Amino acid sequence: MKLLKPSWVSHNGKPIFSLDIHPDGTKFATGGQGEDSGKVVIWNMAPVIREEDEKNEIIPKLLCQMDNHLACVNCVRWSNNGLYLASGGDDKLVMVWKRAALIGPSTVFGSSSKLANVEQWRCVTILRNHTGDVMDVAWSPHDVWLASCSVDNTIVIWNGRKFSEIIATLKGHTGLVKGLTWDPVGKYIASQADDHSLKVWRTMDWQLETNITKPFSECGGTTHVLRLSWSPDGQYLVSAHAMNNSGPTAQIIERDGWKTNMDFVGHRKAVTVVKFNPKIFKKKQKNGSTPKPSCPYCCCAVGSKDRSLSVWLTSLKRPLVVIHDLFDKSIMDITWTLNGLGLLVCSMDGTVAFLDFSQDELGDALNEEEKNTIHQNIYGKSLAITMESQLSTTIIENPEMLKYQQDRQGNQNPNAAQGSSAENQTPKLTNVLNGQSLEDIRKNLLKKQVETRTADGRRRITPLCIAQLDTADFSPALFNSVPILPGSSASTQLTPQISSDSNTANSMGLRPSHEPSTTTSPNKTTEDNKDSGAAPVNSIGMKSNLLLTSASKIEPMKALDSRFTERSKATPGVTSIPLTMCITPLDSHRVKDSKEPKGKDETSSDSEDKIMVKSLSMAKRKGEMEGGEVVEKRKKGRPRKDAKMMMPTSQPFPQTTVSTSVGPVEPSRSAAPVVVFKLPTPSLQKSFSTQVGTDAITYLEVENEISVVSGARLSQLKWSREGREWETLLPSRIMIATGSSDVVAIACEDRTLSVFSACGRRLIPSIMLPAPMSALHCSGHFVMVLMTSATLSVWDVQKQAALVKNESLNAILSGTDATVNQSLLTQQGVAVVGLSNGKTYCFNSSLETWNLIADKQDSLVQCADFRNCVSSQDALGAMGPLALTQGRNLSAGRLASRLSSAPHLLQQGMTLAFLENQLSSALILLSANEYRHWLLIYTRFLVNEGYEQRLRELCQDLLGPVHKSTCSSWQPTVLGLRKRDLLTEVMPVIGQNLRFQRLFTEYQDQLELLRLK
Amino acid sequence: MAKVQVLNVAVLDNPSPFGNPFQFEITFECMEDLPEDLEWKIIYVGSAESEEYDQVLDSVLVGPVPAGRHMFVFQADAPNTGLIPESDAVGVTVVLITCTYRGQEFIRIGYYVNNEYTDPELRENPPVKPDYTQLQRNILASNPRVTRFHINWEATMDKMEDSENVDPTPNSMLPPTSMPGKAPPLGLMPDNSMDCL
C-alpha cells in the first residue's frame, strides 16, 4: 500500500466535508467550506495518481470550483453515469451540476484563487425542500432516484430523471439524519440518524422495512456525519457510529433478517464514515499453486473521529490495515476508485489522503460479468444488463451503429465521459461580435453603447451582447478580464484516464509520500493578511496596488469591511448569509436587528410559510373557480337526472372516441336482483336529455308523450349541435337515445330501433329487436345494441351490414354471478363489455370469439413493471379504448417497482406476458395508437432485458418479405399502420443496446434496401 | 441559482483625479431571458463610520437582457464633495457596485478606494479643508470583494409592488396602520429616497 497526501487538494485550509471520485476515474469532487460560502471543487485525478503528472505544470490540478452554495457543502456525489454531480449543504439546498460546453479557462470573479476553471460545471437544478442543513445525498443504482437527508429529520427522494419532482419524503426519524446509502440491488435505502436508529426503507412503496435501534442506543450525537454503506453484493449494510460494550463500532447488518451479530471494532472514537469498495474480490491465485475455489469477499474502509482509517476485508477477522494520525481532525468522507484499488479520504482538517493498494493486497477484483453472476445467483437478477460501463467494452462493429451511438450520445450527454465524441465539443457559446475583437469593442464600448431615458427619466443602458447562449446547454463560465478564447487549450491536456481494467491499475506509479510542489506560497498570503489587518483572505496583490503604510489608514478598513457584505438598504436585514427564499422588505424589517442565525432562520421559514399559504389560497381560489365553470357547463348541457348517462363533455383525444355509458344498466340492477343472463332495461322517463359527440357537442332531448293525436301518443326527439337543430317524432316512447358524430340511434319501448343520420334523415326503417333494449351505443357509423336477453348486435350503418349478430353473452357470463356494468363501442366498431367481476371482454367478429382484454384481478398487471421502458412522449399514445377499459389497473402496474418483492426472473416473465397481452388486446380492439404505443414499450422491454429471439421475430414480422412473393400471406399494414414504418420507429430502440448491433444492422440494411426500391 | 452571474468588472480610468467620473466596464452572463431590467448602482461610501454619508452616485437600468453574455460601461459622476465629512476625504474608503433585480439585491461588488494627494508636500501637510482638485482616486481594482445574495428570481408581483410602495417619509415613527411592519425603522432611508440624492 502506498500513501500520499496531495497538499494541493485543499479549500484554503477550510474543512473538506466530502469527496467523491468520478465514475470514469479522471476527476474527483470535494465539498466543504469556502470563504464565505459553501464550496465545491472538481480536481484532476491524474496528478494524484502519477507523480510526473503532478510535476507537469501543463496538467491542471483544479478543474472547476463552484461557490454557489450559500453555506458549507456537506456532501458531493457523482451520478453513476458520471453526467451529474449532486451537492448538498447547510443552505438546505441540493444542487445538481452538469458539465457545460468548453469555452476556455476562467476564474470566479472576485475569488482569491487565480487558478482557472478548466472545466465548466453549471448548476442545472436546485432542489429545495429541506428545511434544515442537507447532510448527505445519494444516487440510486441507475440514477433513477436521488436521495437527500437533512437535519430536518427527513429524507427526500427526488426523481433522477425529472428534477425537482419529489417521489417521496421519508419521515420517521426523530433526529438529524446524517447518512444515506442505497442497496446496490435497488430494493432498499438505508438511513442513519442521531435518533439512535438506522432505518431501512423499501423503494417499492417507500415504507419502513426495518428500524434498527439496539446497537445505537448508547450513541451520542457527536459526529458531524454518519455515512453508512451497503456492500456491493448487497448482503451487508455497515453502519457508521454504533456502540458495543461502550466501545465505538461500525455495526454490520445482514440483509437476511436484518441481523446485527457482527461489527467492526477497534476505533477509539465514533465511526463517521464507512465506504465499501465497489469491487468484489477473490483471492489472488499464486503462481504454481493449484487453483482452489475461494469465496468472493468485499472490502470496506472505515473512518473515524479518532482520525484513523481502517480497511477491512470480509474474509479476514482483523483489519487489513489501520492508519493512525493521518489527519489532525476527524475523517469526514471516503471514496474508492472504480477499479477498487485506490482510496481517497478527506478530513475536517481540510486535507485529503490517497491510498493505493496493490492487487496482492486486496485480491483479484471480479469483473462485471462475474459480479453480475453473483447478483444473479443471489437475487435472480443481473444489475448491469443495460449498464453503459459494460456496453462500452463491446466493440462497435459497423459504421452505421457507430454513427447512431455517437448521435445518441451527442443528443443525450454531450459531456459524457465515456463517449468517444465527447472530447471534440464545439463551443456552445456562439460569438456574435461580427469579427471584431473583444478588445476593439471594449475600447469604444462607452461611446457606442445605447443609452436611453425611461419615461420617468431614468438612465437605461442596452447592454452589448458579446455572446449568445445556447439555452439548451450552455455555460455559466466565469472569466477574468481576459477576452474569451475561442475553444479550449487546457482541456485537451486532460488525457490521463484510469480505466477500470486492472492492467492500467498495475502500471500506476505511486510514491509513498510527497512534498507540496508548486502551490502558491501560503506564507505570502498570510503576510498580506496581517498587513491589511482587515483579514480579507483574498488579498493577493493588495500590497502592490495600494499604498497602505500608516496604521491610521488601515483603521477605517475594518469598519468598511462590513460594507462589502451587507446588503444595501433597499433590502435590509440580511447579512452575508442570505436566505433560501427572498425576504420581502415587509418581513425583513421585523428582524433587522436580530443578528443570531437562529432568528434569520425563523424569518426565512416564516416568509416561506407565508408564501406557501398565499399560493395555497390562490390555488384554492382557482380550484373553486374552475369548479364553478364546470357546474356552469353542466347546466348548459342540460343533463338528464342520471348524470352517468352523459357523454364526457370533452374527451382528451377525439380521434380515439369511445362512447361509454353505464347509466341505464346500473340503476335498475340495484333496484331488483338481477337474473343471470337477463340484462336490465333502463327505466322509462317522461323526458330526458343527453349529450353526445366529442368534437362537436351534440345535445339530444327526448320528450315522451308530447301530444295525443287521435289517441296516438307521440314522442319527440330534438337534436341540436352548434346552433343547428332538427326534430323528429316517433310513435312509441323513447327509452334510450344516443348518437355519434355520424348517426343518432333511438331505442323505443316497442323494441324498435331507429337510426338517423346527423341531419335527421332516417337511414334504416325501424329495426325490430328480438328483446327489449338494455344498452345502446353509437360510435362513428356503428351502432351497438345490448339486449335484455344478454345478446349483442353491432351494425355498420354506412355499409348496412351486421358486424355482430345476436351474439350471446353466455360465454362470458356463464359460471359467474357477475353482471354487465359497462359496455362501450370503440370508434372502430368493436364492442366491449365490462363485467362486475372486473373482467372486460371485447367481441371479435372475424374470430367470432369473446376476448378478455382487461382483468382487475390479473396479477400480471399488478406485478408487471415496464416503467423504465416508457418514455415521456409515450404518454399520449396510451389513450384509447384499451386504456379506458383497463383504467386504474394500469397505473397500479406502473407503480409496482421494478425492484419489487417478486424475484426478478419471475417478474421479467410477468412483464413480458403482460406486454404481449397488451399488444394483442390493442390489436383486437383495432386501436392503432395503442398498438403502436405498446409495441414501442414492448420493444424497449425486449431490448433492455435482452430477448433476442422475440425481438428478431418481431422485426421479421414488421419487415415482411423483402422480395415480392405471391404465396406470402404477409400484410404490409397493421391497423392501418405501415409495418415498415413501425420497424423504422423501432430501430433506434434496438440500436440502444450494443448487444443487438448485428440485429440492428441486419434490419437497418434491409429497410434501406427497400427504401431505395 | 442566480440567473445573472457577474463575470468581470474592469475599472477604467484608474487611478484618476478625484473629480473624474467613475467608469466600470461590467461583463455579466444571464442564464435566461430576463423579463425585467437589472438595476445597477454605484454607491460611494463617504465615511466608514456611518452609512449616513453613503452616496448613490448613479443608478442605471440595464435591459433588455436576453440569455447570453453581455457587457456595458457604467459611468457615474464623482461624489458630491459637500456630502463627504472633511475628516474622511483623504484616506481609504469603499465604492460599491450593486445590482438588483425586481428590487432585490443579488450581488454587491466592493472596491477599496484610496484618496490621496499626489503632491508630496500636501501629503505631508494635508490642508484642514480637503482640496479635492489635488486628490487622486485610486481604486484597488485587483481586489474586488464580491458578495452574492440569494434572491427570488421569479415573478412575485405583489411583493415587488410592496417594496416599491414603501412610504417614503424616512422619519415617520408611526407605521401606517394598514401595513404594520412595513415602515422603515428610524434612520433608515428606503430605497427610492436614496435615488433622489
Q: CB distance A560–B48 less than 8 Å?
A: yes
The pLDDT, as a whole number, for residue A649 is: 35
| d(C-alpha A465, C-alpha A806), whole Å | 75
Q: Return the residue of B nearest to A615 by Cα.
A: B156
pLDDT at A117 over 50: yes
User: A672 and chain B: CB distance < 8 Å anywhere?
Assistant: no
Q: CB distance A110–B144 less than 8 Å?
A: yes
B147 contact residues in A (CB cutoff 8 A): 36, 564-565, 576
User: B155 and chain A: CB distance < 8 Å anywhere?
Assistant: no
> Tens digits of per-residue pLDDT, A627-656?
434 334 444 434 344 333 333 333 333 333
| d(C-alpha A243, C-alpha A253), whole Å | 14
What's the predicted TM-score (pTM) here? 0.48
A429 contact residues in B (CB cutoff 8 A): 69
Least Cα distance to B42 among B27, B52, B55 occurs for B55
User: Following DSSP, what letter does each residue of chain B receive, concatenated?
Assistant: --SEEEEEEEEES-SEETTSPEEEEEEEEESS-BSS-EEEEEEEES-SS-GGGEEEEEEEEE--B-SEEEEEEEEEPPP-GGGS-GGGSSEEEEEEEEEEETTEEEEEEEEEEEEEESSHHHHHS--SS--GGGEEEEE-TT--EEEE-----S--HHHHHHHHT----TT--SPPTTSTT-SPPTT---HHHHHT-
Q: CB distance B71–A464 less than 8 Å?
A: yes
pLDDT at A761 over 80: yes
Distance from CA of A590 to the nearest CA of B (A): 6
> Tens digits of per-residue pLDDT, B23-51?
999 988 887 788 889 999 999 998 877 88
| d(C-alpha A275, C-alpha A261), whole Å | 19
> Sorting pLDDT into bands at 50, 70 and 90, what band is A559?
low
User: Following DSSP, what letter does each residue of A745-807 receive, concatenated?
Assistant: EEEETTSEEEEEETTS-EEEEEEEPSS-EEEEEEETTEEEEEETTSEEEEEETTTTEEEEEEE
Number of Cβ within 10 Å of residue A511's Cβ equals 12
pLDDT at A1003 over 50: yes
pLDDT at A696 over 50: yes
Residues B34/B7, Cβ–Cβ less than 8 Å: no
Average pLDDT taken over every residue of chain B = 77
Average pLDDT taken over every residue of chain A = 72
| d(C-alpha A433, C-alpha A466), whole Å | 6
Please list the residues that pair with B77 across neighbouring strands.
none
User: B10 and chain A: CB distance < 8 Å anywhere?
Assistant: yes
pLDDT at A164 over 60: yes
Distance from CA of A160 to the nearest CA of B (A): 19
Rounded-to-10 torsion of CA A865, A871, A876, A879: -10
Cβ within 8 Å of A, B 114-153 = 114, 116, 138, 140-152
pLDDT at A783 over 80: yes
The pLDDT, as a whole number, for residue A618 is: 42
Q: Return the residue of A nearest to B44 by Cα.
A: A563
The pLDDT, as a whole number, for residue A608 is: 41
Least Cα distance to A912 among A940, A891, A886, A890 occurs for A940
Q: Which helix (H) or strand (E) covers residue A461, if one does?
A: strand A459-462
Least Cα distance to B166 among B191, B194, B195 occurs for B191
| d(C-alpha A339, C-alpha B80), whole Å | 66
β-pair type (A459-462, B54-62): parallel
Rg (CA), chain B: 19
The pLDDT, as a whole number, for residue B189 is: 39
A569 contact residues in B (CB cutoff 8 A): 51, 188-191, 194
Please list the residues that pair with A65 across neighbouring strands.
A41
**Mean local confidence (pLDDT), A460-486:** 51
| d(C-alpha A14, C-alpha A28), whole Å | 18
- Which has more confidence, A569 or A212? A212
Q: Which helix (H) or strand (E) covers residue A552, if one does?
A: helix A551-565
Nearest to B65 among A463, A481, A557 (CB): A463
Please list the residues that pair with A300 across neighbouring strands.
A276, A312
Q: How far is CA A490 from the centre of its chain?
A: 34
The SS3 assignment for A242 reads strand
Listed in sequence order, the residues at least 6 apart from A704 whose beta carbon sits closer than 8 Å to its beta carbon are A684, A685, A686, A687, A713, A715, A733, A734
Number of Cβ within 10 Å of residue A166's Cβ equals 11
User: B92 and chain A: CB distance < 8 Å anywhere?
Assistant: yes
Q: How far is CA B77 from the centre of its chain?
A: 12
Residues A743/A781, Cβ–Cβ less than 8 Å: yes
Listed in sequence order, the residues at least 6 apart from A818 whose beta carbon sits closer than 8 Å to its beta carbon are A835, A836, A837, A839
Q: CB distance A126–B1 less than 8 Å?
A: yes
A91 contact residues in B (CB cutoff 8 A): 150
Nearest-5° Cα angle at A537, A533 to A543:
60
Q: Is the N-terminal amide bond of B64 cis, ω within 30° of 0?
A: yes
Please list the residues that pair with B160 across neighbouring strands.
none
What cell was used for A763? 337511414
Residues A682/A774, Cβ–Cβ less than 8 Å: yes
Nearest to A568 among B43, B159, B162 (CB): B43
> Tens digits of per-residue pLDDT, A306-358?
999 999 998 888 899 999 988 999 999 999 998 889 999 999 999 999 999 98
What cell was used for B109? 461588488
Q: CB distance B88–A556 less than 8 Å?
A: yes
Least confident range of A14-23, A150-159, B100-109, B142-151:
B142-151
The per-residue pLDDT string of chain B (197 residues; one tens digit each, 9 = 90 and over) reads 567 888 889 999 989 999 999 999 998 888 778 888 999 999 999 887 788 888 999 999 998 888 778 889 999 999 998 888 888 888 889 999 999 999 899 999 999 999 999 888 888 888 888 889 999 999 998 888 888 887 887 765 444 333 334 344 444 344 333 344 333 343 333 333 333 33
**Mean local confidence (pLDDT), A707-714:** 67
B31 contact residues in A (CB cutoff 8 A): 469, 474, 476
The pLDDT, as a whole number, for residue A353 is: 94
The pLDDT, as a whole number, for residue A875 is: 55
pLDDT at A415 over 70: no
| d(C-alpha A215, C-alpha A529), whole Å | 48
What cell was used for A227? 455515512
Cβ within 8 Å of B, A 603-662 = 611
User: B74 and chain A: CB distance < 8 Å anywhere?
Assistant: yes
User: B19 and chain A: CB distance < 8 Å anywhere?
Assistant: no
The pLDDT, as a whole number, for residue A100 is: 72
- Which has more confidence, A87 or B172? A87
Least Cα distance to A242 among A208, A201, A214, A261 occurs for A214
**Mean local confidence (pLDDT), A657-679:** 44
pLDDT at A578 over 80: no
What cell was used for A640? 338528464
The pLDDT, as a whole number, for residue A767 is: 86
pLDDT at A156 over 80: yes
What residue type is A537 in one-letter code? V
User: A450 and chain B: CB distance < 8 Å anywhere?
Assistant: no
Cβ burial, residue A288 (10 Å; 0-12/13-18/19+): exposed
| d(C-alpha A157, C-alpha A167), whole Å | 5
pLDDT at A239 over 90: yes
Rg (CA), chain A: 36
Distance from CA of A202 to the nearest CA of B (A): 33
Q: Is the dihedral of CA A689, A692, A697, A700 positive or negative?
A: negative
Rounded-to-10 torsion of CA B7, B12, B16, B20: -100
Residues A274/A228, Cβ–Cβ less than 8 Å: yes
What residue type is A554 in one-letter code? I
> Sorting pLDDT into bands at 50, 70 and 90, what band is A110?
low
pLDDT at A850 over 70: yes
Number of Cβ within 10 Å of residue A97's Cβ equals 25
Residues B57/A496, Cβ–Cβ less than 8 Å: no
Least confident range of A619-623, A682-686, B9-13:
A619-623
The pLDDT, as a whole number, for residue A762 is: 86
Length of chain A counted residue by residue: 1013
Please list the residues that pair with A182 across neighbouring strands.
A189
What does residue A594 show for φ and ψ, rounded to 5 degrees?
-80, 110
CA–CA distances in Å: residue A612 to residues A157, A193, B129: 21, 28, 56
What cell was used for A217? 442506543
Instruction: Write the Ramachandran bin of A6: left for phi over 0, alpha for psi from -120 to 50, otherwise beta.
Output: beta
The SS3 assignment for A38 reads strand
The pLDDT, as a whole number, for residue A456 is: 83
> Tens digits of per-residue pLDDT, A500-531?
333 333 333 333 334 444 333 444 444 444 44
Best of B20, B27, B172 to disrupt the A interface (most A CBs within 10 Å) is B27
| d(C-alpha A322, C-alpha A502), whole Å | 25
> Sorting pLDDT into bands at 50, 70 and 90, what band is A557?
low
Distance from first CA to last CA of chain A, Å, rounded? 65
Least confident range of A430-439, A614-623, A761-770, B57-66:
A614-623
Least Cα distance to A550 among B50, B182, B168, B90 occurs for B90
The pLDDT, as a whole number, for residue B79 is: 92
